């Protein structure tokens, strides 16, 4: 998993976001991830290509919300979505 921070959206990431939001909202949503201090977008890298993505919004110290999650259709059903969610749970553990 790699945080997506480039000011330019990669074509694979654009396609993935089109699965998770409307085509007309892709640029706006990507800009929110790049500029908002409470939003993070991660790409799942497989064979040097972004093949999945998960975007979150940090609500407070104990909560974050998945805003977008997508995997290319040819790789669905292989557990990539679950791996991305697990990554977020480790990166943003709930403090006790």
Query: pLDDT at position 92, please?
Result: 83
Query: pLDDT at position 62, please?
Result: 83
Return averaged pLDDT per consecutive 10 residues of the chain, 96 residues in all: 93 93 92 95 94 94 91 94 94 74
pTM: 0.90
CA neighbours within 13 Å on the CB side: how many for 71?
17
Closest CA to 68 of 35, 25, 9, 36: 25
Query: pLDDT at position 7, please?
Result: 92
Beta bridge partners of 86: none
Task: Name the H helices within the chain.
Answer: 11-20, 26-35, 80-91
State the sign of the Cα–Cα–Cα–Cα dihedral 57, 4, 84, 12.
positive
């Amino acid at each position: 998993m790699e945080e997506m921070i480039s000011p330019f959206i990669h074509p694979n990431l654009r396609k993935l976001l089109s699965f998770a939001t409307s085509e007309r909202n892709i640029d706006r949503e990507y800009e929110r991830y790049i500029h908002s201090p409470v939003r993070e977008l991660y790409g799942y890298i497989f064979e040097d290509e972004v093949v999945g993505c998960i975007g979150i919004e940090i609500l407070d110290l104990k909560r974050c919300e998945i805003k977008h999650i997508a995997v290319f259709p040819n790789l669905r059903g292989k557990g990539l979505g679950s791996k991305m969610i697990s990554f977020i749970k480790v990166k943003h553990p709930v403090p006790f």
